[in-house]
Amino acid sequence: MYFKLAWRNMWRSRRRTIITISSIFFAMIFAILMRVIIIGMFDKMISDTVSMSCGYLQIHHNGYWENKSVDSTFEETPRVTFILDKEKEITAWTPRLETFALASSGERTKGMLVIGIDPKKENAISKLSQKLVAGKYLQDSDKYILLAQGLAEYLKLKVNDTVILLGQGYQGSMAAAKYPIKGIVKLGIPEMNKGMAWLPMACARDFLSTGARYTSISIMVNNRNNLAALKQNIKRQIGGNEYEVMTWQEMVPELDQLFQAKLGQNEIMSGVLYLVIAFGIFGTILMMLNERMHEFGILIAVGMRKGILARVVVMEMILMSIVGTILGMGGAFPIVLYFRVHPIHMSGVWGKEMEQFNFEPILQPSMDFSNFIIQGYAVLSIAVLLSTYAIYKIYRIKAIAAINS
């Protein structure tokens, strides 16, 4: 009965109902957009960073992460490959052979990270072929090199030019070689774009004289929130003390700390936004209650109990809050989807500031539906809580004064 009365009362005054629902509708859109943009920006930064460097999880020789020496490598084993291939939570994995080397061209030299890769497996993780701005992607049998765009520009090199590499190989051997450039890759993280290069695995092994060995295996997963459990599962299956399994938070703690700090900042900003939303919704509720004082006075005068009236009015407001919240989530979704497909490329001062903090100057919102649910729950809770003010207001009504209002 209360539901039917509340639903009918909602649509007796369409203008008032539309105004109330609209206030919640726009509040929802603003709250969702603010959250998904912040979360999306950091999701992209984390994904770009770990895909190009360590992965969400990494398997390496025990002690490798402290010194990152090419001497701390491990041999290929079919058992590790089998374990990784059968794990359902792993979306892709790739072996890498990493070392630091000096790149030289003419009178210019620069230190850089050289990574030996399996071109097919690497592309499944880092999408290197999609980041090419010149030339072609590597093949297994190539004796070519890929350079990051910033490094190529510094060395004044282009496709088909030759770069000289100098470094230290396996067990103290000398590593020196020259490679023609097959392609140039533009990376979103500015710091990485200035100092990375990629060789086919066989070519990297010849350069470093390692034989069939890797420095690490980088792993990408479906859900990064389950990394701790997956880490322990992989560690248990591999067994022994030769291998070490680490999460991206352990390998890049500064990125995780920055992410957590920005999440905290976002919570504060959300709190301010919720306060603004609360005042907006409360103002709409006050307007609605004051408009209906005459109606409430007549209902009380003809015998309706204040408790029943209060329940019906609160039910009306809850229904309007639910409708506004659902419409707000539905209205925000196409906006978020559009900017997910067509991200905003920042330029000018904002773009330069983002690059200084190692952000790719792109705003691409997150499509994680939990962000919609969280904001919907928060705004709906505020609206429902404020609607209880109607109970206080109705119990203070004097029938004669309300009728004459």
Claim to verify: residue 133 and residue 14 sit in the same structural domain: no
Claim to verify: residue 170 and residue 291 sit in the same structural domain: no
Pairing, β 74-75 against β 145-148: unpaired
Encode pLDDT of 215-240 as tens digits.
Answer: 999 999 988 888 888 999 888 888 77
The C-alpha atoms of residue 194 and residue 197 are separated, in whole angstroms, by: 10
Pairing, β 196-200 against β 132-135: unpaired
Claim to verify: residue 69 and residue 190 sit in the same structural domain: yes
The residue segments making up the domain with residue 290 are: 2-48+256-403
Q: Fill in the amino acid letter for 225.
A: N
Higher pLDDT, 269 or 339: 339
What predicted TM-score, i.e. pTM, was given to this entire model? 0.75
Give residue 304's pLDDT.
76
- Arithmetic mean of pLDDT, 184-210: 89
Flag whether pLDDT at 357 surpasses 70: no
- Arithmetic mean of pLDDT, 358-379: 80
Flag whether pLDDT at 117 surpasses 90: yes
Claim to verify: residue 205 and residue 60 sit in the same structural domain: yes
Give residue 353's pLDDT.
62
pLDDT-wise least confident of 24-28, 126-130, 361-365 = 361-365
Winning range, highest mean pLDDT, from 242-251, 341-350, 371-380: 242-251
382 pLDDT tier (thresholds 50, 70, 90): confident
Claim to verify: residue 345 and residue 265 sit in the same structural domain: yes
Claim to verify: residue 27 and residue 101 sit in the same structural domain: no
**What DSSP designation does 32 have?**
H
Give residue 207's pLDDT.
92
- Arithmetic mean of pLDDT, 303-312: 79
Q: What is the DSSP string of 166-203?
A: EEE-GGG-EEEEEEEEEEEE--SSHHHHTSEEEEEHHH
Claim to verify: residue 196 and residue 59 sit in the same structural domain: yes
Asked whether the beta carbons of 361 and 355 are under 8 A apart, the reply is yes
Give residue 2's pLDDT.
64
Domain termination site, one of 251, 273, 295:
251
- Arithmetic mean of pLDDT, 78-87: 88
Give residue 280's pLDDT.
77
Claim to verify: residue 171 and residue 227 sit in the same structural domain: yes
Give me the number of domains the chain comprises.
2
Give residue 136's pLDDT.
93
Domain termination site, one of 202, 236, 251:
251
Asked whether the beta carbons of 56 and 224 are under 8 A apart, the reply is yes
Claim to verify: residue 34 and residue 17 sit in the same structural domain: yes
- Arithmetic mean of pLDDT, 333-342: 90
Q: Which of 89, 40, 127, 122 is nearest to 221 (CA)?
A: 89
Distance of CA 114 to the CA centre of its chain: 27
Helix axes 253-291, 14-52, angle to 10 degrees: 180
Give residue 352's pLDDT.
66
